[in-house]
A and B are shown apart, each in its own frame.
Chain A
Amino acid sequence: MVFSFIFIMVSEPPGYIEPFLFYGIVISLFLYFSRIPLRFILGRCLIVAPFIFMASLFYPLSSIIGSDFQGFGSYTQEYRIALSIFLKGMFAVILLTLLVSTERFHNLLLGLRKLKMPALLGTISALMYRYIFILTDEALKTSRARDSRTPGKLSMNRLKVYGNQSGMIFLRSMDRSQMIYNSMLSRGFNGEFTGLQEMAMNKKEVVFSVLVILILLAVRITGMSIFSFMSN
């Protein structure tokens, strides 16, 4: 449903910002019912916001640079396009943050597999997820070892220690990753993760998802005229 939402939203023609009022309301409802702290979502959004903002500026900037400059006030359509790009990006980030925060990574992979994601991508994602924990585990161990022999804070002239520690974390993670891979091979791993659980949706979930997608589609198809009328 989330991917359909993003797809429908992103397919809005550039410059149409009115439908985003509706999308915003729907996302706010999702946020409310997910009970995820707004601060957490905003924190994630702030990380990517500058990049999306820069990307959204490209179009109006290229129009301004490519034509005779007639004052900033005469580029209303370009500003609308920039805003629509920005909203698409931010809303997509919020939706994806919501998705990964409310669903276990393992279930996400199962869902993506159901959506015919290539097996190789699924395997890479699963391994990456596993190896992140190894990295953090090794980082924690080496940090403890460093702290146990460091009275107070590490002085500025010994910053080299952090470099050594990073190198060591990398080497140790490589070794452990190799061990895990060996353990997988020893149990017949052939490059594809086969899950025990199948991703199954119950009736309620199917009805809810279909309903939301239909409403979004209706807004997407008919909404343009409604919102055009509103904006006129």
Chain B
Amino acid sequence: MSAGIRIKNLTFSYEKDKPVLNNISLDINSGEKLGIIGPTGSGKSTLLLHLNGILNSGQGSVEIGGIKIVKKNLPEIRRMVGLVFQNPDDQLFNPTVEEDVAFGPLNFGFSREEVEQRVRDALVSMNLEGFEKLVSHHLSLGERKRVALATVLAISPRVIAFDEPFSSLDPEIVMQLINIINNLDATLVIVSQSFLPLLSCCDRIAVLKKGEIMAAGPKKEIIQNKELMKASGMDLSFYRNIYRDYFM
């Protein structure tokens, strides 16, 4: 079951008078798959951290499934929104894969039997059967990425936010990950600089630049708007030329 997201006039800054997010408003429908693109430093990851209440600016609001993110709602929000971090090593801190996947469900107070069931299900869905007792930091990057996603799936979140899920992965693993993402039953928000995989996963794309949403719309419409892409520092003609030179 998925949940919609409503972001209204969100402004956030790490340093005074230097807003990283500037008056952002965005609606994401329940079950929708939204890709967020933008140059480095445009505030994409900062926006993701707001979806789970890790950052809370107090200026503007974020609602998940109609529930406003405020301090007293945080346990419920974190149960609803799963974050998959860019670097799986930031997400995996327990001694074994099993313990890492169980971390979230145990925190949310599920019974031991249910936690074990959830761990099993999450690992099976990521093709990680037999990995239970392995040490996370001994796995390959692709495997660690899958374990990181399993740690989130074990909570059965209604919204999953990915931060650069395709970075540093070889094409085969990217393809596996796209298949996994496309089969997830949740509202997805995917921040990525990897356009091609992102296009395979998303219904809609939002362009973020200097903390502001420049445009949001159907992926084809956005990606074919050359002026918009150029203005947002995301000129794709470079990829088009490579494609033309090598594949046509």
Contacts and interface: CB of A to CB of B under 8 A. Distances in A.
B54 A186 contact: yes
Interface string B43-75: 000000100101000000000000000000001
Interface residues of A, number: 22
B99 to A, nearest CB: 6
B187 to A, nearest CB: 16
B107 A186 contact: no
Nearest to B112: A196
A112 to B, nearest CB: 15
A187 B78 contact: yes
B107 A183 contact: no
Contacts of B147: none
A179 to B, nearest CB: 4
A66 interface: no
A132 B99 CA distance: 19
Contacts of A137: 89
B85 A179 contact: yes
Nearest to A130: B93
B141 interface: no
| Chain A interface mostly | helix
Interface of B, secondary structure class, is helix
A188 B107 contact: yes
A196 B97 CA distance: 11
Contacts of A182: 49, 54, 83, 85, 90
A195 B82 contact: no
Contacts of B32: none
Contacts of B20: none
Given A130-B93, A194-B106, A188 B79 contact: yes
B212 interface: no
A45 B137 CA distance: 30
Contacts of A130: 93
A130 B115 CA distance: 23
A184 to B, nearest CB: 7
B164 interface: no
A157 interface: no
Interface in A174-222: 176, 179-180, 182-190, 194-197
5 contacts: A176-B90, A182-B54, A183-B91, A187-B103, A194-B106
Given A184-B103, A195-B99, A196-B106, 10 more contacts: A106-B99, A130-B93, A182-B85, A183-B90, A186-B52, A186-B81, A186-B82, A187-B155, A196-B98, A196-B116
